Amino acid sequence: MTYRSLTSPASFRRTVLSLALLVGCSGAWALPQFTFSPSAVGLTGANVTADNIIVSDFATVTFSSATAFSEQGFLSVTNFQVGGSNITAGGLNSTYSLYFQFSGTGHLTSANSNPLTGVTSGVFDTLTYSLIGASGNSTFNVTTGSNPTVTSTNPQVLGTGSLIDGTVVSVPSDGAFVPSAAATVSFAVAAGKQGFFSPQPFYNVAFTAFTNSLSTVTGFGNGFTINNGGGNLNYASPIPEPETYALMLAGLGTIGFIARRRKTG
């Protein structure tokens, strides 16, 4: 089976447009800020106030048919930002770690099913996730053709959420392809974990976007793996106008990826 998935030429054009919009309006547009307090849930680390979460993407996408796919994986929190600039989060990935564990399904919507030859498109049908905090530095393992795994110490669920809306995109490049995705999801604080989050009540919607470089993608017979891809997540409440925020969201995913690469490069 050829590697498939993931947004129509029209969606791709909207993604390109979103980058232009961000360049033009980033100075006047700000994301809502939040504060995470690790000590409130027994983790060792300094409070961090930010408006954007930078993550590394470890995932496996598998096709069960010509149009249906599933995805399993983890998003490791690698950094935080305010106004597009990286900030220090004392203890992150040293004395404590944060990651999202997620699972989703979806289907293709484009006539083209081969991302090596043209832009392909799809949507998420389901998506559930948990935000997890753990002691020390959690590590992630990706084996081609298998679902990623995590090694963590004393993991605890801090929040959960599920799909509101989401799309997936794949664009051919140099004989390979670049998969991207964007989703709007609900967010609910786990029982007894309210102290970790501020403001209270906390935001009930999250937005996330991913643009994975060629070097992070490895194909196999009926799918592909993503090893240390790039993305971002931020919060908002109430839900903004979907079309307006979706354009900015796609651009933020690319900016988050660039920021993460600069940090790790």
Would you place residue 212 in the very low, low, confident or very high pLDDT band (cuts 50, 70, 90)? confident
Instruction: Examine residue 54 and state whether it is found in any structural domain, yes or no.
Output: yes
pLDDT at 22: 38
pLDDT at 173: 86
Instruction: Examine residue 228 and state whether it is found in any structural domain, yes or no.
Output: yes
pLDDT at 112: 78
Instruction: Examine residue 4 and state whether it is found in any structural domain, yes or no.
Output: no
pLDDT at 174: 83
Instruction: Examine residue 3 and state whether it is found in any structural domain, yes or no.
Output: no
Instruction: Examine residue 1 and state whether it is found in any structural domain, yes or no.
Output: no
Q: Which of 11-20, 122-131, 152-161 has the weakest average pLDDT?
A: 11-20
**Mean pLDDT over residues 253-257, rounded?**
45
Instruction: Examine residue 154 and state whether it is found in any structural domain, yes or no.
Output: yes
Any idea of the CA torsion for 249, 257, 133, 86, to the nearest 10 degrees? -90
Domain boundaries, position 116 = 9-264
Mean per-residue pLDDT over the chain, rounded: 83
In this predicted model, which residue has the larger pLDDT, 152 or 213? 152
Residue whose token pair is 């950094």:
79
pLDDT of 202 > 50? The answer is yes
Q: What is the pLDDT of residues 44-92, one digit of tens each?
A: 999 999 999 999 999 999 999 988 999 999 999 999 999 999 999 999 9
User: Are 79 and 89 within 8 A, CB to CB?
Assistant: yes
Domain count for the chain, please give it: 1
**Mean pLDDT over residues 121-137, rounded?**
97
Instruction: Examine residue 121 and state whether it is found in any structural domain, yes or no.
Output: yes
pLDDT at 35: 98
pLDDT of 171 > 70? The answer is yes
Instruction: Examine residue 102 and state whether it is found in any structural domain, yes or no.
Output: yes
